[in-house]
């Protein structure tokens, strides 16, 4: 076997693929795995998070108040364990013997003390595994014919050097200038190599556009990607690419223009499959995290059956809480709809949603978390064999994450931990998720070229090298240890390379794409304002007069090479009227409500889009909150008040007791967002407002001699357009048998007062007409403003204690209804003629916008509530 080995080659493909057996190109993980396999040292893989958990136990066993990590460990045991584990693993890789030499500081002494526990509890680190490999190589043949190093031997950590000393290392690859020395690129290669070898620069290079060096920059990454895609389309020249940053953007652009994807995917811890477990575990805490539950239920992947998930998510969004009337209705509805799956559904909802929750201060039982984690793991396990390879791969990442968390929780349980806090759980999941997963739908395709995410992984010369988004690179960080600690570690065998050496090494790595370009080097700089790569600054210094070409000039043809033109397609322009072809008939609806009639009259295009085209916004975008939520909760509470036998007669402490009990229940079932941390003032404000509102309703109804109240009263009737339906908040009757409709609004006292004063209370008029058709008499109408505890009426005839709003029009509600019917007929005739008015602010009215004199004049509806404003067209 002939091996090519380099520090940066794991997961890369910065070399030509060839048909060869027994000649692998490997990075550290690849070679370690190969050696352990050959030497019979393989062991079951241990996830990083599991090692963190193991080390946590080691730290815990040794923890005393005088340990340096004591306070940090108390606050963040998982994070502290992960951090200190990375310390000792790095020390071992660089040769630490596991001991604290005399005079070592407290930190080294403490970590060395922890090693007594780690020897039996912790799965070995890479450094420790390399020690074992080196031992075995001393007495066992590796059957490796040769090893070629891509990096100089001194760049390898000590434990690797010890292993390499026992392997047949035949050569170390050197990177020499590959371009013609007479070109700008060739001269640059020689100059950079010489300078990085410590020689003084030998003058500058005069820029000439000989095609060997191109430097381009776009105003946006997308423009750059589009240009690169065009350059890739021509396969005349052999190309290799270096893409350290914004990799997904480049691949998505290649994909969009039908060029083979390179598999340049950025991993993300927020990959869809990796969100499921964190969300499933985020809902175990008290109080319920409503937002997490909505995300869990509305997620496209999840263990609650898909046919039920969305429906339940809708309920959570609209009525945030579990167990309320809407929740129970939804459960019953799903069971009726899927009778053969009802049992499974009930079980899933009970397990994943309606489970007991735990106080964060006490922590959640590890056993419970383990059960849920295994549930997620099993869910993904059942999907590993999905016929769709993308779904199968995504399931594999979810399965791996859940398995790692389950293993870590198992280890905690085995260590005797009975509970875990939210912060610990979050840290544990983060350790198990690490960098996350890529988008599996964007894997590399046949025709992809050699590519490297690290410049140091481009290890062969290519005719053309493209360095995509050559921006500021990540640099090695400072060691977190003091100089005296580093000295002590050195005395314990640890050979940590100085930071200066690491930076110089990175500088060498950056040179590889430059040196490996034979005919052309293309540097794509990031957009202006982003930090430049230090190597680009060097190139600028050397090549006198080199300037980035503007990609905007290139792609628009001003500088010669032009991208194919995309035909301009303007967005639809705004127009006050839409015209429907005669063959398209917009028919009547069998039933209308106040809401639909309001749109029909005032914004016909909204009525057409919403009720005829059935375009509706998602109702999962947000959890109901603030005024919408307060209004919903108020309606529910007052409905319960009037449906509770004897509640209307309650006074004083009895009323307070009823209110306290019922308010708490209603909020828990349908307003749980108010129970979340930080919402106490909102909760108390609502509570105070509703307590006052109920008292005021009692007072007003008492003064009016109300002897019957119907809450959430269904209403039905007819009008010239067909059937009408609706539901009045309250229909009350006084001792004389007269009725009144009370519509409750959370806020907007001035607005509704204005509605009554201007005789535009259409909602009340629609309800009143339906009640008139049922009883033969027009009822009184009123608004009750909950936040202000104010009852608004046209006059005091029915409610003597209410605030009258003088409209100056006798018999106002019947008149309003007649005006509405006239307006409806006018609008209907327009729609029958195929004319739909786009009544939107900013589009001027036309003469056709005015109705007949006896009709209710249309008014613009608030834009904030217009879901279709972007469908009304765009200005030039």
Q: Which residues bind other proteins (CB under 8 A)?
A: 68-69, 71-72, 75-76, 79-80, 82-83, 107, 195-196, 198, 200-201, 472, 475-476, 478, 480, 499-500, 503-504, 506-507, 529-532, 534, 537-538, 541, 677-681, 684-685, 687-688
Structure token pair of residue 773: 């058709």
Strand 790-793 versus strand 803-804 pairing type: parallel
CB of 95 to other proteins, least distance (A): 23
Give the residue from 24, 290, 246 showing the smallest Cα distance to 148. Answer: 24
CA distance 253 to 260: 10
CA distance 803 to 812: 17
Rank residues 21 and 75 by Cβ distance to other proteins and give the closer one.
75
Rank residues 79 and 851 by Cβ distance to other proteins and give the closer one.
79
Q: How much is the CA Rg of the chain, to the nearest whole Å?
A: 37
CB of 676 to other proteins, least distance (A): 9
CB of 232 to other proteins, least distance (A): 30
Rank residues 193 and 772 by Cβ distance to other proteins and give the closer one.
193
CB of 475 to other proteins, least distance (A): 4
Rank residues 198 and 306 by Cβ distance to other proteins and give the closer one.
198
CB of 189 to other proteins, least distance (A): 15
Query: 481 Cβ partners below 8 Å, 6+ apart?
Result: 87, 107, 489
Structure token pair of residue 309: 């998930």
CA distance 250 to 435: 20
CB of 337 to other proteins, least distance (A): 38
CB of 544 to other proteins, least distance (A): 12
Rank residues 192 and 855 by Cβ distance to other proteins and give the closer one.
192
Residue 105: CA count within 13 A, CB half-sphere:
12
Structure token pair of residue 596: 């639909």
Q: Find out whether 745 and 689 touch, Cβ atoms under 8 Å.
A: no
Give the torsion through C-alpha atoms of 255, 261, 266, 267, to 10 deg.
110
Structure token pair of residue 385: 């064999």
CB of 527 to other proteins, least distance (A): 13
Rank residues 200 and 435 by Cβ distance to other proteins and give the closer one.
200
Rank residues 256 and 628 by Cβ distance to other proteins and give the closer one.
628
Rank residues 29 and 664 by Cβ distance to other proteins and give the closer one.
664
Query: 838 Cβ partners below 8 Å, 6+ apart?
Result: 574, 575, 576, 577, 578, 605, 872, 873
Number of alpha helices (DSSP H) and beta strands (DSSP E) in the chain: 30, 23
Q: Give the Cα-Cα-Cα angle 39, 43, 48 (nearest 5 degrees).
A: 130
CA distance 430 to 410: 17
Rank residues 84 and 301 by Cβ distance to other proteins and give the closer one.
84
Give the residue from 496, 424, 481, 480 showing the smallest Cα distance to 81. Answer: 424
Point out which residues pair with 579 in neighbouring strands.
835
CB of 827 to other proteins, least distance (A): 39
Strand 835-837 versus strand 577-579 pairing type: antiparallel
Rank residues 529 and 617 by Cβ distance to other proteins and give the closer one.
529
CB of 83 to other proteins, least distance (A): 4
CB of 651 to other proteins, least distance (A): 21
Q: Find out whether 321 and 288 touch, Cβ atoms under 8 Å.
A: yes
* Peptide bond preceding 114 in cis form (omega within 30 of 0): no
Rank residues 320 and 779 by Cβ distance to other proteins and give the closer one.
320
Residue 521's SS3 state is strand
């Amino acid at each position: 076997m002939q091996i090519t080995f380099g520090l940066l080659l794991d997961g890369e493909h910065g070399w030509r693929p060839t048909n060869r057996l027994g000649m692998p190109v490997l990075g550290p993980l690849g070679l370690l795995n190969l050696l352990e396999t050959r030497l019979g040292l393989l062991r079951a893989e241990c996830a990083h998070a599991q090692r963190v958990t193991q080390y946590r136990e080691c730290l815990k066993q040794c923890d005393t108040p005088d340990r340096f990590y004591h306070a940090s460990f108390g606050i963040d045991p998982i994070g502290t364990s992960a951090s200190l584990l990375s310390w000792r693993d790095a020390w071992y890789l660089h040769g630490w013997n596991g001991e604290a030499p005399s005079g070592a500081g407290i930190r080294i002494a403490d970590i060395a003390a922890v090693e007594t526990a780690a020897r039996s509890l912790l799965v070995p680190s890479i450094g420790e595994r390399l020690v074992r490999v080196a031992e075995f190589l001393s007495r066992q043949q590796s059957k490796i014919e040769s090893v070629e190093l891509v990096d100089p031997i001194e760049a390898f950590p000590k434990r690797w050097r010890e292993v390499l000393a026992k392997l047949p290392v035949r050569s170390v690859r050197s990177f020499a200038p590959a371009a013609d020395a007479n070109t700008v690129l060739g001269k640059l290669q020689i100059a950079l190599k010489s300078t990085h070898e410590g020689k003084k620069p030998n003058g500058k290079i005069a820029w000439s556009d000989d095609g060997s060096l191109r430097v381009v920059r776009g105003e946006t990454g997308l423009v750059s990607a589009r240009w690169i895609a065009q350059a890739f389309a021509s396969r005349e020249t052999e190309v290799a690419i270096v893409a350290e940053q914004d990799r997904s953007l480049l691949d998505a652009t290649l994909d969009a223009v039908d060029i083979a994807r390179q598999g340049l995917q950025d991993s993300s811890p927020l990959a869809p499959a990796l969100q499921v477990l964190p969300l499933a575990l985020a809902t175990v805490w008290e109080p319920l995290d409503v937002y997490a539950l909505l995300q869990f239920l509305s997620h496209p992947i999840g263990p609650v059956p898909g046919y039920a998930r969305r429906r339940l998510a809708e309920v959570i969004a609209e009525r945030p809480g579990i167990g309320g009337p809407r929740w129970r209705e939804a459960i019953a509805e799903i069971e009726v709809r899927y009778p053969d799956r009802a049992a499974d559904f009930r079980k899933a909802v009970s397990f994943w949603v309606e489970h007991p929750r735990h106080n964060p201060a006490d922590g959640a039982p590890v056993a419970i978390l383990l059960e849920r984690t295994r549930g997620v793991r099993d869910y993904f396990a059942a999907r590993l064999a999905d016929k769709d390879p993308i779904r199968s791969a995504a399931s594999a990442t979810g399965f791996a994450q859940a398995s790692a968390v389950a293993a870590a929780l198992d280890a905690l349980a085995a260590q005797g931990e009975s509970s875990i806090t939210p912060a610990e759980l979050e840290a544990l999941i983060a350790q198990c998720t690490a960098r996350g997963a890529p988008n599996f739908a964007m894997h590399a395709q046949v025709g992809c070229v050699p590519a490297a995410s690290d410049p140091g992984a481009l290890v062969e010369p290519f005719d053309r090298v493209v360095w995509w988004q050559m921006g500021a690179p990540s640099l090695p960080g400072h060691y977190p240890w003091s100089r005296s600690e580093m000295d002590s570690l050195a005395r314990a065998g640890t050979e940590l390379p100085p930071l200066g050496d690491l930076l110089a090494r990175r500088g060498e790595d950056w040179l590889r794409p430059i040196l490996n370009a034979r005919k052309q080097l293309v540097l794509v700089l990031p957009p202006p304002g982003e930090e430049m790569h230090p190597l680009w600054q060097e190139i600028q210094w050397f090549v006198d007069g080199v300037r980035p070409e503007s990609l905007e000039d290139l792609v628009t043809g001003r500088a010669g090479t032009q991208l194919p033109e995309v035909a301009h397609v303007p967005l639809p322009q705004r127009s006050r009227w839409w015209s429907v072809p005669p063959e398209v008939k917009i028919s009547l609806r069998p039933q209308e409500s106040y809401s639909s009639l309001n749109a029909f009259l005032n914004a016909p295009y909204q009525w057409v889009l919403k009720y005829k085209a059935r375009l509706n916004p998602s109702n999962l975008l947000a959890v109901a909150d603030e005024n919408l939520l307060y209004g919903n909760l108020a309606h529910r509470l007052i409905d319960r008040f009037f449906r509770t036998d004897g509640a209307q007669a309650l006074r004083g402490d009895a009323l307070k007791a009823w209110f306290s009990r019922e308010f708490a229940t209603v909020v828990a079932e349908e307003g749980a967002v108010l129970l979340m941390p930080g919402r106490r003032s909102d909760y108390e404000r609502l509570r105070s407002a509703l307590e006052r509102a109920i008292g005021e309703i009692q007072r007003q109804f008492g003064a009016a001699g109300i002897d019957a109240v119907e809450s959430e009263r269904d209403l039905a009737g007819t009008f010239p357009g067909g059937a009408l339906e609706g539901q009045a908040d309250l229909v009350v009757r006084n001792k004389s048998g007269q009725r009144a409709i009370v519509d409750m609004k959370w806020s907007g006292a001035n607005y509704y007062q204005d509605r009554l004063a201007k005789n535009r209370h259409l909602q009340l008029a629609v309800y009143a007409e339906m009640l008139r058709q049922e009883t033969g008499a027009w009822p009184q109408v009123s608004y009750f403003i909950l936040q202000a505890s104010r009852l608004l009426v046209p006059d005091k005839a029915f409610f003597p204690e209410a605030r009258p709003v003088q409209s100056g029009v006798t018999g106002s509600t019947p008149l309003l209804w007649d005006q509405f019917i006239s307006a409806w007929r006018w609008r209907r005739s327009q729609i029958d003629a195929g004319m739909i008015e786009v009544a939107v602010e900013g589009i001027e009215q036309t003469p056709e916008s005015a109705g007949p004199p006896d009709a209710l004049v249309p008014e613009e509806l608030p834009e904030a509530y217009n879901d279709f404003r972007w469908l009304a067209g765009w200005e030039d």
